[in-house]
Amino acid sequence: METYQAIKLIARPSGGPISDELFEVVNLPKPEINDGEFLIQQTHMSLDPAMFGWMSPATDSYIPPVALGEVMRSSGIGKVVESKHPDFTVGDRVTGLLGWTELLVSTGKGINKVQNDLPDETILSVFALPGLTATQGLFSIGKPVSGETIVVSGAAGSVGSIVGQLAKADGLRVIGIVGSDEKANWITEELGFDGAINYKTDDLASKLADLTPDGIDIYFENTGGDIQQHVFDRMNVHGRIAVCGMIADYAKAVPSPGPNWIPMIKKRLTVQGYAMPDHFGDIPALLTKLTPYVMQGKIKYRSHVLQGLTSAISGLNLFFTGGNNGKLMVKL
């Protein structure tokens, strides 16, 4: 490999689908490394809804946006192919914010070695951002108690599917909201959810009432949109809502309004947004919490693998259409 491909962000999205015009695909000569550096060849890169925030203009968001002209940010996994760094040797598997590129030079900052033999897909699907995000939000904000009812939107997504399985393993009644019958079947038949609602075809309010006869104690919010108000209306006293994602609103020029706050008082609800960069210091503890569930076979996943770097661009739109079945990633 004497040249490699990378993709730079050159314009910011203004609502609507993600298009080629936002990006520039470049071919570059293989970089040289200096002492203290090593060269990573990325093997799989993760696509995540958080990317819409990273592409947006600077706001008060939790992480600065990608600057125009910079390689697009993403997390990924790869292998060390050259090294002049004492701690990294050729063949090491590494993860980190590698970006939309086939090759990159690193000093090791923000890079972690993979200490197991699990496949790339398992690592990106469970032990990377999705699993950590699910574990943080469910336990720290949701505070699940056996016998309670949790509703998860985006329930077949990379985070939602793990949230539901963790809650199920802890003895909760788990209802998932998804966007296709295939996903509904997957979460109930394969993942063990107690019920599923296809928001595109089911009568959301009546089916939600049927499936949550004792109301809702925890709402794990991945989507926003119409679903939000219906779930909010059925929250129980002292309910907790973890706000993880609002995918239904990210592409809207004017986001839809939220629920009125009177029920917050009547039912003493807590609604809390979170994002993982606040909790990077907690990752060892989160992995300690998550790993036993995985080792006991309680966490299943599936991956939706796109082929080749440039497939990432149109791949992002799968988040808006719900067209991905499983954790979205790109194989390089």
CB closer to a second copy, 30 vs 274? 274
Q: Is 278 in the site for a second copy (CB under 8 A)?
A: yes
Half-sphere exposure of 301 (CA within 13 A, CB side): 28
State in angstroms the smallest separation of the CB of 103 from a second copy: 32
The mark string for 202-241 relative to a second copy (x by CB under 8 A, - otherwise) is: -------------------x--x---x-------xx----
Stretch of 108-116, 253-261, 288-296, 312-320 contacting a second copy, by CB under 8 A? 253-261
Q: Is 37 in the site for a second copy (CB under 8 A)?
A: no
Burial label, 232 (beta-carbon count in 10 A; 0-12, 13-18, 19+): buried
Stretch of 4-12, 128-136, 170-178, 242-250 contacting a second copy, by CB under 8 A? 242-250
Q: Is 253 in the site for a second copy (CB under 8 A)?
A: no
CB closer to a second copy, 136 vs 188? 136
Cα-Cα-Cα-Cα torsion 273, 191, 97, 25, nearest 10 degrees, comes to -110
Q: Is 265 in the site for a second copy (CB under 8 A)?
A: yes
287/293 Cα distance (integer angstroms): 10
State in angstroms the smallest separation of the CB of 281 from a second copy: 15
**Coil, helix or strand at residue 208:** helix
Q: Is 274 in the site for a second copy (CB under 8 A)?
A: yes
**Interface with a second copy: number of residues (CB under 8 A):** 38
What stretch of H or E contains 320?
Answer: helix 317-321
Q: Which of 28, 62, 182, 210 binds a second copy (CB under 8 A)?
A: 62
Beta strand 3-9 with 23-29 is antiparallel
Q: Which of 65, 108, 192, 263 binds a second copy (CB under 8 A)?
A: 263
Picking from 122, 142, 238, 225, the residue whose alpha carbon sits closest to that of residue 177 is 225
Are 332 and 204 in contact by the 8 Å Cβ rule? The answer is no
